[in-house]
Amino acid sequence: MTFNKQLLTAAFLTVGGFAAISSANAAGSKTGSFQVGMTVISACTLETSETQNINFGEVAGNAVANDNQTSTTALSVMCSEGAPYVINLTPTSTNSTDGTGTMAGPGSDTIAYSLYSDESSTPWGNTSTLELAGNGVSSTGEGATVVKSHPVYASVDGPTDVQVGTYSDTVNVSVLY
140-155 pLDDT per residue, tens: 999 989 999 999 999 9
- From 143, 146, 170, 149, select the one nearest 42 (Cα to Cα): 143
Highest mean pLDDT among 10-14, 107-111, 119-123: 107-111
47: left (phi over 0), alpha (psi -120 to 50) or beta: beta
Average pLDDT for 67-94: 93
* pTM confidence score: 0.78
pLDDT at residue 177 greater than cutoff 90: yes
The mean pLDDT value of the chain amounts to: 86
More confident residue, 54 or 26: 54
pLDDT at residue 8 greater than cutoff 50: no
DSSP per residue, 1-37? -HHHHHHHHHHHHHHHHHHHHHHHH------------
Average pLDDT for 127-149: 95
